[in-house]
Structure 1
């Protein structure tokens, strides 16, 4: 394994670099909600799950070959890797199906309950204790997210509840995947290997489900195909590798709190790209979210006893 992939510089607190990276990632994931809605117009949800994972797997494998990153050595990651892959596959099948029924805004809110599940799980599994300050910061951020959607919580139709539940379960699975990575041998594996487990397993998992996803091809268009390629090449092959490196390097709960930016960015992207309405609530919400993130990630000053 290359030296770059084996050296893990673990950091105890969120720094300026982490903040910049997480803003970029959450913006990309917010834009991804729009891309999913667009891609769903051309292809079935299960096919999209399989196709984007397959395309991304080829790209990530090529990157590993070029960089000399070993993927097949025995390091105790097989079973947690398979588990993470299954969680990843089910998560995105639920997201793609869920966004067929509900709006991008409601779906993003449900998916991004993830930090609460990580916060609870990390308390019991990772020893990252829930403090009053962290809980307050997360509550402020969640209040900001709620404010974004305060005028859009009415159901577009009765079937939207089905999509909401799917996206909520997807958020739980996203949190579970994060915890599996942090708790298992995957924490010491390269980000590329961690991602390859999830991509390959999700392709294998999705193939037998293809007949149950309805017509594979819907209204295929250049826009829908472009949205699929955007997800596979940029979101999956690039931002997920970066995300897995981040969760191996920084505290899980601190990073997870940034997920509250994703639905806010999703609404902004939806407003500009899908003509969804924007209001002053969004900007007030972003202020609350930023304040919540500051509270969650503020370094704790330990008093040094005299003498």
Structure 2
């Protein structure tokens, strides 16, 4: 992995970590928050796409197969948000977040069958160490009940869905520009989420100025400066590497919660953060993506 790519990974994780903070601060239902996150993100990138004739020509040159894959990716991103947010109605935030971090396991399996990617045993141990750190952070809040089990299953499916989203990106981004890919992906995600909000009759308009500000910040920081960085890097890095980096979101969320929400960092969180960092270091060192 090159130095610039490593720095971008860290920045992407940091900005993506702000997602939980702004979602918590915004007084809007999860599906509405997700919709405006994608809508505002699309609106922020659209002027760059419309204002550059090369990007317009690139989009118009996409064949049906590529457009279809990108649109499917956008829909999967929306489904990920719906499932993950819905899981929070059944289980704890910690439990849901920890289960979503099982994403690297799906990435390893998918990478093996789709791209014949093979990791050595030491890199796999790094993945398991990092995931163990995530579980240490959230184990105290995990629940053992039928209701919680439903939430955990939804979170697990959400982890699988977002992994497929990155695999689609790994395939289509190799021959697509960042802006063109992101605008189409975020735009299709916003359309799907709008349909979902209309079906569920969610309130789309009556919110405070503060909530609108948080929704804009969510789009700017978590998506444009977070998710889009991963869309950029997926052209050169594998889904497994991206997934391992995103485990750092658990760390970033804890740190940002401490800074902006005055949420203390417990001993188990500190230990979990340390173990995640060790696992990520082991993975990066032995994965061959150095």
TM-score (norm 2): 0.86
State which of 233, 238, 255 in structure 2 corresponds to 1:246: 233
State which of 113, 131, 136 in structure 2 corresponds to 1:124: 113
State which of 68, 76, 98 in structure 2 corresponds to 1:87: 76
Give the distance between the partners of 2:22 and 2:148, measured in 1 at CA. 19
Off by >6 Å, runs of 4+ in structure 1: none
Q: Which 5+ residue runs of structure 1 have no aligned equivalent?
A: 1-13, 302-307
Deviations 1:229-270 (A, max 9, x none): 112222223322221110111233223211211112223333
State which of 7, 19, 23 in structure 2 corresponds to 1:36: 23
Give the distance between the partners of 2:88 and 2:214, measured in 1 at CA. 14
Give the distance between the partners of 1:228 and 1:95, measured in 2 at CA. 18
Verify the 8 A CA contact 2:25 2:214 in the aligned structure 1.
Answer: yes
Give the distance between the partners of 2:185 and 2:89, measured in 1 at CA. 23
Which residue is equivalent to 1:152? Answer: 141
Verify the 8 A CA contact 1:44 1:218 in the aligned structure 2.
Answer: no
Give the distance between the partners of 1:299 and 1:138, measured in 2 at CA. 11
Aligned-residue CA RMSD in angstroms? 2.6
TM-score (norm 1): 0.82
Q: Which 5+ residue runs of structure 2 have no aligned equivalent?
A: none
Deviations 1:21-68 (A, max 9, x none): 2222212222211222332xx223333232221221121111223444
Verify the 8 A CA contact 1:25 1:239 in the aligned structure 2.
Answer: yes
Instruction: Give the secondary-structure state (helix, strand or coil) at the position aligned to 1:297.
Output: helix
Give the distance between the partners of 1:165 and 1:18, measured in 2 at CA. 33
Determine whether 1:46 maps to 2:31: yes
Structure number with bigger Rg: 1
State which of 60, 63, 78 in structure 1 corresponds to 2:48: 63
When residues 227 and 105 of structure 1 are mapped into structure 2, their CA distance, relative to the original with a 3 A threshold, is: farther
Verify the 8 A CA contact 2:35 2:193 in the aligned structure 1.
Answer: yes
Matched pairs, number? 284
Give the distance between the partners of 2:195 and 2:238, measured in 1 at CA. 37
When residues 23 and 105 of structure 1 are mapped into structure 2, their CA distance, relative to the original with a 3 A threshold, is: farther
Verify the 8 A CA contact 1:33 1:108 in the aligned structure 2.
Answer: no
The equivalences for 1:258-273 within 5 A come to 258-273=245-260
Give the distance between the partners of 2:68 and 2:42, measured in 1 at CA. 19
When residues 219 and 59 of structure 1 are mapped into structure 2, their CA distance, relative to the original with a 3 A threshold, is: closer
Give the distance between the partners of 2:110 and 2:17, measured in 1 at CA. 24
Verify the 8 A CA contact 2:119 2:287 in the aligned structure 1.
Answer: no
Give the distance between the partners of 1:271 and 1:200, measured in 2 at CA. 33
Give the distance between the partners of 2:215 and 2:268, measured in 1 at CA. 31
Determine whether 1:198 maps to 2:192: no
Which residue is equivalent to 1:3? Answer: none
Q: CA deviation at 1:193?
A: 2.0
State which of 137, 154, 160 in structure 2 corresponds to 1:172: 160
Verify the 8 A CA contact 2:40 2:219 in the aligned structure 1.
Answer: yes
Instruction: Give the secondary-structure state (helix, strand or coil) at the position aligned to 1:110.
Output: helix
